[in-house]
Amino acid sequence: MVHGYFLRGTGSNLFVANTCRELCKLGHQVKLFCQEEKPQLFDFIETAWDFDRHNHNITIVYQQATPYPGKCQLYRPNLNGFLPVYVYDNYPGYVVKTYSDCTPAEIEAYIEDNR
């Protein structure tokens, strides 16, 4: 599952968190790409991995046992501090811009960082 944001808050964040949890309850192995910085808040996340500055290598940053037959591995791409959003919100540690305010180069860089 690819989700460009966090797992806390509202809207799609909660939808993705709940979908991943339910998939783990059903025994699925989930690979989740998102920006969640506190994987310990989610009982379905077994491991969390951070990508390096160039998104070439990963390092495990969190591991826990989960109560579900399925497991979720969270991968956090390095977005180099930039987060485009549909509706503006404050994300500490990120330069946040709505998509309509982003330049084509910013959007291309965001896509490349996630790729």
- The alpha-helical segments, DSSP class H, found in 1-115 are 12-25, 104-114
Q: What is the pLDDT along the chain (115 residues), one digit of tens a residue?
A: 999 899 998 889 999 999 999 999 999 999 999 999 999 999 999 999 999 999 999 999 999 999 999 999 999 999 999 999 998 888 889 999 999 999 999 999 999 998 8
Tell me the whole-structure pTM to 2 decimals.
0.91
**Which stretch of DSSP H or E encloses residue 46?**
strand 45-51
Two tokens, residue 74: 């969270």
Contact 114, 76 (CB under 8 A): no
- The alpha-helical segments, DSSP class H, found in 9-115 are 12-25, 104-114
